[in-house]
Chain A
Amino acid sequence: MKYVIVGCGRVGAALAEALDNEGHEVLIIDTATRAFDRLSSEFKGQAIRGDGTDEDVLRRAGAERADVLLALTEGDNRNVMAAQVAREKLSVDKAVAKINDPVRAAAYAELGIATVCRTTMLTDALLGHLNLRPTGMPAVIAAVPHVHDDDAPEASRGLAGGAEAVPGPATAPATTAERRD
Chain B
Amino acid sequence: MFVLVVGGGKVGYYLTKELIESGHEVVLMEKDRARAAQITDELGSVVVPHDGCEGKYLGEAGSNRADIVAAVTGDDEDNLVICQMAKHHFDVPKTIARVNNPKNEQLFRHLGVDEIISPTRMALGSIEQDIPVHELLHLAALDNELEIIEAQLQADSPAVGRTPGDLVIPQECSLFAVVRNGVASPLRADTVFQEGDKVIAIGRADCERMLHEQLIGASASGRA
- Residues on A lying within 8 angstroms of B by beta carbon are 53-56, 75-78, 80-81, 84-85, 88-89, 101-104, 107-108, 110-111, 150, 154, 157-159, 171-173, 175
**C-alpha gap A111/B111 in the complex (Å):** 10
B101/A54 in contact, CB under 8 A: yes
- Residues on B lying within 8 angstroms of A by beta carbon are 53-56, 59, 64, 75-78, 80-81, 84-85, 87-91, 101, 103, 107, 110-112, 143
Further pairs besides A77-B77, A80-B84, A175-B89: 12, Cβ < 8 Å: A54-B101, A56-B103, A77-B81, A80-B80, A81-B80, A88-B107, A88-B111, A102-B55, A103-B56, A107-B55, A171-B56, A173-B64
A75-B77 contact given A84-B111, A89-B107, CB 8 Å threshold: yes
Q: Which residue of B lies closest to A85 (CB)?
A: B107
Q: Which residue of B lies closest to A173 (CB)?
A: B64
- B75 — which chain A residues lie within 8 A by C-beta? 77
Q: Which residue of B lies closest to A104 (CB)?
A: B55
- B111 — which chain A residues lie within 8 A by C-beta? 84, 88
**Chain B residues touching A, majority SS:** helix
CB distance from B132 to the nearest CB of A (A): 29
**C-alpha gap A55/B107 in the complex (Å):** 10
- B53 — which chain A residues lie within 8 A by C-beta? 76-77, 101, 104
Q: Which residue of B lies closest to A53 (CB)?
A: B77
**C-alpha gap A76/B143 in the complex (Å):** 27
Our pick among B54, B89, B103 for the contact of A159 (Cβ within 8 Å) is B89
A77-B112 contact given A159-B88, A159-B89, CB 8 Å threshold: no
Q: Which residue of A lies closest to B75 (CB)?
A: A77
- A55 — which chain B residues lie within 8 A by C-beta? 103, 107
A111/B56 in contact, CB under 8 A: no
- A78 — which chain B residues lie within 8 A by C-beta? 77
Q: Which residue of B lies closest to A107 (CB)?
A: B89
A81/B81 in contact, CB under 8 A: yes
**C-alpha gap A53/B53 in the complex (Å):** 17
**C-alpha gap A111/B87 in the complex (Å):** 11
CB distance from B57 to the nearest CB of A (A): 9
- B59 — which chain A residues lie within 8 A by C-beta? 103, 171
Q: Which residue of B lies closest to A56 (CB)?
A: B103
CB distance from B179 to the nearest CB of A (A): 31
B91/A84 in contact, CB under 8 A: no
CB distance from B63 to the nearest CB of A (A): 11
Our pick among B54, B101, B107, B143 for the contact of A103 (Cβ within 8 Å) is B54
